[in-house]
Chains A and B, each alone.
Chain A
Amino acid sequence: MNMRVRTIFFAVALAATAATRAADYAHDMYVCANISGQGQVMGGRAVIASGLQRSRDRVSFEHLGPPHIRLFSVTRDPHDAGTLFVALLDGVLRLRHDGSARRTMTDWRMTEPHVIAFDPNAPEHLYIGLPDGIGVSHNRGQSWRRANEGIRRAYTHALTIDRTSAGRVLAGTELGIYLTEDGAKTWRLVQPTTKVTYDIRQSPAQPAAFLAVTSSDGAWWSDDAGRTWRAIAGVPTKHTLHNCDFDRSDAQRMLIGGWGAGVRVSEDGGRTWSDRSAGLPSRDINRVSADPDIPARIYAAPHLAPLHVSDDFGRTWRPLTFEKAIVYDIVFLARN
């Protein structure tokens, strides 16, 4: 078999394997990324189309969204798996799963949402975290109102909807974690911080457990559904921690990524943490994520580098896709 034939054979085999795997996965993988490099400015000539990328097989990615360099997160319409809602510089964009039928759902009054989430127990209710507050829609984005009364310094980068109770939301803001239990009508500060809380996640195994990461205040843990919090030992406090995630296949596993912090993982429910950055091109990690369909598989997005993947929970890494990416979010959305 000559080289050409072998190459074709290998490619066909890989595609077949990927196709087989794709059929097995319960989730599609979405990556919100600027892949145009840090020299790409708004209003500049775009050489590469950034924006929303989707992979069904964890191998190949298709460009779905507008070619924007500031596209931050994505979620799915609970009523309709074929409809996506994207948080991007221009506000909230609704589009079909193939990228068609786009509509900007917000107007000029709401800009640069970095986080977007539906309430699974009130699926008409959509929340966005804005640089100047929180936006809430009670009709799946058709109309919006501000809902950050009582929050000082309302820059909101994280919103986590408690899946056990409608209208119960935790917000990561500039000066702490706030909790609402009435659909954002009122908020109370449950954990003050001196710097921004950039991510809050609810444990898939323990609904009352929440993990939060901050800028220079380290990571925080709550065992009582976000009412009280305690600092997690062993997690760096001098670095900006960008996000965190739970491994849905193992309740004891969780991971954190941050700027200079690399990738930190825990395999004992957060009691101890290990640095799993070896093999990555840098310790400046914009995003980490655990694959809900593949046990022990995690992803890390080093700054201006390829998106990396590990199949042994960070012990070894290999590049997966893109060349110089700034990844804003990695999201797994369930198929129908």
Chain B
Amino acid sequence: MKYLLKFISAGRAQPGSVELVERLDVTPLQDARTRGRASTTSNRWRGVKPLQLLLVAIGLQGVVTLHAQPANTGPVPIPRVVDDATERRAGYLARVQEMLTWRAGLAKPADPATFNLQEIVAKLALREDAAICSARVIELMKKPTSDMFWMFPVTCISYLGRDQLTPEAKAAVREAWRTYFPLRGDTENHWIMYYSSLHLMAQLWPGESGDRWFNGKSSDENFAESRDYILHWMNLTTTIGQGEYDCTHYIGEYSIPMLFLSAWAKDPAMRQRGRMMLDYVMADFAVETLDGIYIGSHARTDDNNVLEKWNGLSSAFSWLFFNNCPPPLNFGSWPMYFATVASHYDLPEVIYRIGTDRSGAYTHYERKRTRHRWRLSDQRNAPVYKTSFLTADYAVGSDQGGLLQPIQQHSWDVTWAVPDPRGVHNTIFSVQAHYSVDELMMYFTEMPDSMPKAVTFQSKPTYISEDKLLGGSPYEQIFQQDDTVISLSDVPAGATFEQVNGFFSKDLAKLEEDASGWIFVQGGRAYIAYRPLAPYEWRPLEKGGKRLRSPHGKNGTIMQAASASEFKSWDDFKTKIRALPLAIALTPTPTVAFTTLRGRKVECAYGAAPRVDGREIDHARDWKLFSGRYLNSEVGSGVLTITHGRLKRVLDFNTVTITDAVAP
């Protein structure tokens, strides 16, 4: 299936995002996407031998090459674990090459206006059209804009262009860094991009005085300050967790600066730290993916990505490293910067295997932190406690609820595996719909009253909407045990919305409202039981599916997921769920006692610590920075141990060392 691709250049976040505007033609061979959908009820790879898979993969790769078709509209990659390191590396580099070639192909030498920063970066990475790139750089440096999102590409151009750009182009870049004063920004991703760029540019132009720099600081001062911040950020992240953790569309903003540092920093310690942090970010990502999709709780996602889970930039990195999903439509935008120096990085095999092995269910725990809190909190960075449960068929992930991040927090969901995730809403979750001036005051420094409406003009249109499906709530408490989630809410009168919104996908294979009060659904190979705690009504959703609207302040959701293969039949699943011991009370505060499918008795009461089999859960005591089968790290340690099977890698940020081990 081929689509005409239209590139949108407006806005900073999607420079180069792609819009499917017209379907041109379909051929049986190309339409693997359609074929994949036809097999949704079974494991599409079950019973296929590795050699057959390899042959199919080679064949499909040929189709992609033959038609020069970008991978995002091509066939779904066949998920398989590539044992051979050389083959794995070759595949990775081939995908890198595709990104670069595709992006560079958007620049037409006959029309220099088509050479924007991203196209120039791609061209320079491919060592093509240096003269046109130089001329165009001179033009583009006359009107710099977009702050740290400008610094970042221009740093890339400067390094890639060291032996390609003309002296005049280099001078234009140098002059722009003197005259254009980019904002440092107010988020973690802004700062790491800003300071990584500044660090590398100060390295590129050493020994210059303050009058040569936009901020009036000398090269030495900029170099030292940026190094100081970068080390601070690394230390904070590896001791108490990342603030903008596990974002579906910001992973590039962290991984790309780290790659730049690992590739271009002259200081070997900074190079090593960049490489280690890249391992860190990728391991953190790999362990919470299902077929390349970032699952569970996110500090930030967006209105589209929260439904179509695959369609975030994070999936581009899954495609690049694990080749287990199609790249998202905008894979040629930010990830393309990664591609420019991707050859400098080799994903450790231990992380690769974590990202691709879903042969057995596992529970993974993480501690993160909130973004900086400025008002209405005595904690600058409150802890975030995450739990994720992953199987080959589905994944469940959550945080503890509350206002952990402003605006774009996503607290829990179930994601089920699908053969082709494109256009599919393979998720179910609920939110206590909430917005408030207090939420924004906590995380932003501005005057309070104008902020809620302003947010809706800044790419977060649903923030103040009653039907919102994104965002945290101070009145929601969540606990997850294995593949069970219990969310309780107790909304005081007068709060913005006294209701729970549940998302029910258009892509559910089954949906039955049971007289018992459970709602039974099937998504892919997952059976899911969803129990609203208060009366509800259904509302249609513009993007398909429907919203469970439960307009009651004392409320909540119980969700139990399982694999279809665990049951004799759909009816068997329903019977077993109905038989599970369950006690619900909503007054004076919501309380649930539920014995899960896994035989654990979970007791949750709003405002109290949860209990499992009679033992009180103490998040502060029990949650490490990472703990589980694959990743382990103590809070405050600065050491991450990554394990898969016999493979082990230890990242020690105290000694700046990487230690690999293979068990005999």
Which residues of A come within 8 Å of B, CB atoms? 37-39, 41-46, 66-70, 89-90, 94, 101-104, 107-108, 111-112, 114, 131-132, 152-153, 155, 174, 196, 198, 215, 240, 242, 259-260, 284, 286, 303, 326
Contact = CB atoms under 8 A, between A and B. Distances in A.
A41 B195 contact: no
B186 A42 contact: yes
A46 B180 CA distance: 12
Contacts, number: 111
B183 A259 contact: no
A67 B450 CA distance: 21
Contact of B184 (A89, A94, A131): A89
A116 to B, nearest CB: 14
Nearest to B454: A38
25 contacts: A38-B453, A38-B458, A41-B458, A42-B183, A42-B187, A43-B149, A45-B145, A69-B183, A70-B183, A94-B216, A102-B181, A102-B215, A102-B216, A103-B210, A104-B215, A108-B225, A108-B228, A112-B445, A132-B380, A152-B378, A155-B374, A174-B375, A242-B447, A259-B448, A259-B450
Given A108-B195, A114-B445, A43 B228 contact: no
Interface in B162-193: 181, 183-187, 190-191
Task: Tell me the dominant secondary structure on chain B's binding face.
Answer: loop
A155 B447 CA distance: 12
A44 B11 CA distance: 6
* The 8 nearest A-B residue pairs measured at CB: A103-B216, A66-B181, A259-B449, A131-B374, A131-B445, A104-B215, A39-B457, A38-B454
A275 B263 CA distance: 62
B303 interface: no
A203 B620 CA distance: 50
A198 B146 CA distance: 30
A46 B182 CA distance: 11
Given A44-B146, A259-B448, 18 more contacts: A38-B458, A42-B186, A43-B146, A44-B11, A45-B10, A45-B146, A46-B145, A89-B184, A89-B185, A89-B186, A101-B211, A102-B214, A108-B191, A111-B186, A132-B372, A155-B375, A215-B448, A259-B450
Contacts of B459: 41
Interface string B440-460: 000001011110011001110
B25 to A, nearest CB: 36
Contacts of A46: 145-146
A43 B190 contact: yes
Interface range, B side: 35 or more
Contacts of B187: 42
A260 B449 contact: yes
A43 B215 contact: no
Interface of B: 10-13, 145-149, 181, 183-187, 190-191, 195, 210-211, 214-217, 225, 228-229, 232, 372, 374-376, 378, 380, 445, 447-450, 453-454, 457-459
Contacts of B147: 42-43
A174 B378 CA distance: 11
Nearest to A107: B225
A39 B185 CA distance: 15
A174 B210 CA distance: 37
Nearest to A113: B445
Contacts of B186: 42, 70, 89, 111-112
A198 B457 CA distance: 25
Contacts of A240: 447-449
Given A102-B216, A112-B186, A198-B447, A44 B12 contact: yes
Contacts of A259: 447-450
Nearest to A258: B449
B183 A90 contact: yes
Given A67-B181, A108-B229, A132-B380, A39 B146 contact: no
A227 B625 CA distance: 47
Given A41-B459, A68-B183, A111-B184, A104 B449 contact: no
Give the one of A94, A131, A174 with max B CB within 10 A: A131
B574 to A, nearest CB: 47
A42 B190 contact: yes
A286 B187 CA distance: 24
A49 B145 CA distance: 10
A108 B216 CA distance: 15
A148 B111 CA distance: 58
A196 B145 contact: no
Contacts of A90: 183-184, 215
A65 to B, nearest CB: 9
